[in-house]
C-alpha cells in the first residue's frame, strides 16, 4: 500500500521510543514541520537499515563482475548488471545513455629490483593511462628523490637514462585523508612527464597510500603531449621503505617490463539511469549517482561499487515505502569516472540538449564508510538553507556541511548548467588504505556503514525534493 510522504503518524510511538523527542525539540526554530520530517527521516532509516539491498547488490557486482575498467568486457557486463539491479529496485523507467570511452589496457607487467647481488621481483602496478615498454625489458639505475623540489635541483646529467623513484610519503597528519591525497597525488599525475623532460627512461612512485601494508595503488597519470611518454609504476609502502633504504645505501638497479597502453579507439559504453517520476513538479530533476567503472584491480568495492548500490537503494527505498516525491529522482551509474569522465560529460550534454531542469546533482564516491557529512557546492543561501536542517541529520551521525565536495561525474553538469552539487562525505580514515588496490574488495565493506550512507542520501533527497533549495 502506498504511503504518502506526510502519512506517518503511526511511526510516532516507534520513533519516540527509540530516539527520544530531543531531535523534534532541537529543530523547532529551523523548520516549518520538523516533527514530520524527523519522523520521515526515521522511517527512511528503518526501511534501509532493515531491508536494504545495498550489501547483496554490492556482493553480486564485486563477485560476478569484479573490477571493470572503462571499455573492457567487464564494464559492459557491469552495465547489464546495473540495468537489472535498477529494474529490480523498482525504478519506473530505466535506460542506457551512450558515452564513448577510452580503454586503457594493462596486460602483463613486472618489476625487479637489484639492491644487493641479485634481482628480486616486487609487487608493482603500472599507473593508469601510462604507456608500458611494449613488453620489452627496460633496465636502468634508480635515482631517488623525495619531492619535486629535490627533483628540480638535480642536473639533467643525474637524471638522464635513469628511472626516477619519487618517494613522496602520504602525509598521515591530515585528519581528513582526502587532504593528504590532494597533497600527494601530483606525484602520480605529474612525475612521468617531469622526469621524461630531463631524460629519465622510467618512473617509480611511492603509492598514494595511508596503508601499513604493501599494496601498490594504481590511478590515473597524465602525460604532457610534447614530452616522451615513459613507463610509470607504483609501489606499496613496505617495498617503498625497502627501496628508500637501499637507495640511501648505494646503487639500485631496476628491470621493468610492461604491456600497458591506451587502445587506439574509443569504445561504445553507457551510463545506466533509473528514474522515479515526480508527482508535483516532474520536470524538476534530482540526480543521485556513483560511478560504475573502476580501475582494473581489486573489485572496485568502495570505489565506487558502494556509490552505485547506494544510488540504486535510494530508488528502492522510495518505491518500497510508497513515497511519492514532488521532484523526479534519477539514480545514475556513471561510466568512465576514473580516466575520462565521459559518462559525466554525456549526462551534462544530454541535460543541456533536452533543456532539463536540474534541482541538484549529488554524488557518492568517497567510499562505503559511515557518513559524517554532506559536501555542498552551491550558493551561500542554498548552503544556509540546507544547514538549517542539520539537526535532522545529527541522529544519523551527519554533522559536517562545511566541505565543498561534489564529485567528478557531476562536475560537468555543475559547470555547464550551473546545477548545485552535493557529495556524501563518509569517514575518510580507511579509504586510502584501499583506494585503487587489489584490496578494494567486497570484504572490506561493512554492511551497516554502507547502508547508513544510503540512508543519508535518501533523507537528503527527500528533504530537497520536499523543500527545494531556494
Selected from 36, 97, 177, 271, the binder of a copy of itself by CB under 8 A is: 177
Could you count the other beta carbons within 10 Å of the beta carbon of residue 421?
A: 23
DSSP readout, 332-373? Answer: EEES-TTTT-HHHHHHHHHHHHTT-EEEEEEE--S-SSPEEE
Of 84-92, 306-314, 356-364, 443-451: span binding a copy of itself (CB under 8 A): 443-451
- 173 makes contact with a copy of itself (CB under 8 A): yes
Cα 416 → chain centroid: 21
> How far apart are CB 223 and a copy of itself at their closest, in Å?
30
Of 143-151, 199-207, 242-250, 442-450: span binding a copy of itself (CB under 8 A): 442-450
- 299 makes contact with a copy of itself (CB under 8 A): no
Nearest CB to a copy of itself, comparing residues 105 and 396: 396
Nearest CB to a copy of itself, comparing residues 210 and 345: 210
Of 109-117, 256-264, 409-417, 423-431: span binding a copy of itself (CB under 8 A): 423-431
Say how many residues make up the chain: 470
Nearest CB to a copy of itself, comparing residues 57 and 221: 57
How close are the terminal C-alpha atoms of the chain, in Å?
32
Cell of 127: 599507473
Nearest CB to a copy of itself, comparing residues 361 and 455: 455
Nearest CB to a copy of itself, comparing residues 232 and 452: 452
In angstroms, the CA 24 to CA 368 distance is 29
CB-CB contact of 63 with 240 (8 Å) = no
Strands 261-262 and 109-114, sheet pairing: unpaired
Angle at 314 between CA 449 and CA 220, to 5 degrees: 65
- Residue 388's Cβ-count burial label (10 Å; 0-12, 13-18, 19+) is middle
CB-CB contact of 230 with 201 (8 Å) = yes
124 forms beta bridges with 235
Of 136-144, 191-199, 242-250, 426-434: span binding a copy of itself (CB under 8 A): 426-434
Segment 180-239, which members bind a copy of itself (CB under 8 A)?
Answer: 210, 212
> How far apart are CB 370 and a copy of itself at their closest, in Å?
5
Selected from 31, 446, 467, 468, the binder of a copy of itself by CB under 8 A is: 446
Reference 122, options 134, 109, 132, 113; nearest CA is 113
Instruction: Write the interaction track for a copy of itself spanning residues 368-407; mark x where CB under 8 A is met and - where it is not.
Output: --x-x----------------------xxx-x--------
- 433 makes contact with a copy of itself (CB under 8 A): yes
> How far apart are CB 13 and a copy of itself at their closest, in Å?
14
Reference 338, options 183, 129, 124, 72; nearest CA is 129
Segment 128-167, which members bind a copy of itself (CB under 8 A)?
Answer: none
CB-CB contact of 23 with 38 (8 Å) = yes
Strands 109-114 and 119-122, sheet pairing: antiparallel
> How far apart are CB 157 and a copy of itself at their closest, in Å?
34
Instruction: Write the interaction track for a copy of itself spanning residues 43-62; mark x where CB under 8 A is met and - where it is not.
Output: --xx--xx----x-------
Cell of 109: 607487467
Helix segments in 250-335, DSSP class H: 306-321
What contacts 234, CB < 8 A, 6 or more positions away? Answer: 124, 125, 126, 127, 188, 204, 205, 206, 207, 216, 217, 218, 219
> How far apart are CB 321 and a copy of itself at their closest, in Å?
14
- 429 makes contact with a copy of itself (CB under 8 A): yes
Nearest CB to a copy of itself, comparing residues 31 and 176: 176
- 16 makes contact with a copy of itself (CB under 8 A): no
Of 300-308, 313-321, 344-352, 445-453: span binding a copy of itself (CB under 8 A): 445-453
Nearest CB to a copy of itself, comparing residues 91 and 208: 208
Instruction: Write the interaction track for a copy of itself spanning residues 18-47; mark x where CB under 8 A is met and - where it is not.
Output: x--------------------------xx-
In angstroms, the CA 393 to CA 44 distance is 12
> How far apart are CB 420 and a copy of itself at their closest, in Å?
23
φ and ψ of 433, to 5 deg: -75, -30
Nearest CB to a copy of itself, comparing residues 171 and 249: 171
Cell of 113: 629490483
Query: Binding residues for a copy of itself, per CB under 8 A?
Result: 18, 45-46, 49-50, 55, 172-175, 177, 179, 210, 212, 370, 372, 395-397, 399, 427, 429-430, 433, 446-449, 452
Amino acid at each position: 500500500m502506498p504511503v504518502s510522504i506526510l502519512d506517518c503518524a503511526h511511526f510516532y510511538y516507534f520513533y519516540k521510543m527509540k530516539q527520544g523527542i530531543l531531535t523534534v525539540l532541537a529543530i523547532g526554530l529551523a523548520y516549518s514541520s520538523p516533527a514530520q520530517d524527523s519522523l520521515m527521516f526515521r522511517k527512511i532509516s528503518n526501511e534501509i537499515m532493515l531491508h536494504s539491498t545495498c550489501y547483496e547488490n554490492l556482493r553480486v557486482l564485486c563477485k560476478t563482475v569484479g573490477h571493470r575498467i572503462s571499455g573492457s568486457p567487464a564494464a559492459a557486463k557491469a552495465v547489464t548488471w546495473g540495468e537489472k539491479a535498477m529494474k529490480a529496485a523498482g525504478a519506473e523507467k530505466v535506460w542506457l545513455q551512450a558515452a564513448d570511452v577510452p580503454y586503457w589496457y594493462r596486460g602483463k607487467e613486472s618489476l625487479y629490483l637489484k639492491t644487493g647481488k641479485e634481482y628480486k621481483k616486487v609487487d608493482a602496478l603500472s599507473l593508469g593511462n601510462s604507456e608500458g615498454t611494449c613488453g620489452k625489458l627496460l633496465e636502468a639505475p634508480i635515482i631517488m628523490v623525495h619531492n619535486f623540489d629535490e627533483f628540480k635541483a638535480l642536473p639533467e646529467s643525474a637524471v638522464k637514462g635513469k628511472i626516477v623513484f619519487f618517494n613522496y610519503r602520504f602525509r598521515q597528519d591530515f585528519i581528513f585523508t582526502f587532504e593528504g591525497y590532494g597533497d600527494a597525488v601530483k606525484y602520480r599525475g605529474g612525475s612521468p612527464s617531469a622526469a621524461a623532460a630531463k631524460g629519465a627512461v622510467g618512473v617509480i612512485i611511492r603509492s598514494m597510500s595511508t596503508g601499513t601494508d604493501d599494496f601498490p595503488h594504481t590511478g590515473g597519470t597524465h602525460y604532457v603531449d610534447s614530452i616522451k611518454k615513459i613507463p610509470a609504476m607504483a609501489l606499496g609502502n613496505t617495498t617503498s621503505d625497502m627501496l628508500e633504504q637501499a637507495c640511501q645505501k648505494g646503487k639500485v638497479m631496476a628491470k621493468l617490463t610492461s604491456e600497458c597502453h591506451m587502445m587506439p579507439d574509443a569504445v561504445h559504453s553507457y551510463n545506466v539511469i533509473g528514474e522515479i517520476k515526480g508527482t508535483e513538479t516532474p520536470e524538476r530533476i534530482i540526480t543521485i549517482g556513483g560511478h560504475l567503472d573502476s580501475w582494473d584491480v581489486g573489485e572496485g568495492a568502495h570505489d565506487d561499487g558502494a556509490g552505485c548500490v547506494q544510488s540504486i537503494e535510494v530508488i528502492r527505498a522510495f518505491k518500497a515505502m510508497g513515497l511519492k516525491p514532488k521532484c523526479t529522482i534519477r539514480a545514475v551509474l556513471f561510466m568512465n569516472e576514473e580516466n575520462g569522465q565521459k559518462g559525466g560529460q554525456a549526462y551534462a550534454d544530454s541535460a543541456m540538449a533536452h533543456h532539463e531542469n536540474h534541482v541538484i546533482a549529488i554524488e557518492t564516491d568517497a567510499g562505503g564508510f559511515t557518513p559524517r557529512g554532506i559536501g555542498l557546492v552551491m550558493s551561500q543561501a542554498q548552503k544556509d538553507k540546507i544547514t538549517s536542517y542539520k539537526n535532522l541529520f545529527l541522529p544519523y551521525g551527519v554533522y559536517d556541511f562545511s566541505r565543498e565536495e561534489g564529485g567528478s561525474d557531476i562536475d560537468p553538469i555543475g559547470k555547464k548548467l550551473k546545477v548545485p552539487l552535493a557529495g556524501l562525505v563518509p569517514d575518510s580514515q580507511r579509504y586510502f588504505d584501499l583506494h585503487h588496490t587489489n584490496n578494494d574488495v567486497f570484504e572490506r565493506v561493512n554492511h551497516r556503514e554502507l547502508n547508513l550512507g544510503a540512508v543519508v542520501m535518501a533523507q537528503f533527497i527527500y528533504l530537497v525534493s520536499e523543500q527545494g533549495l531556494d
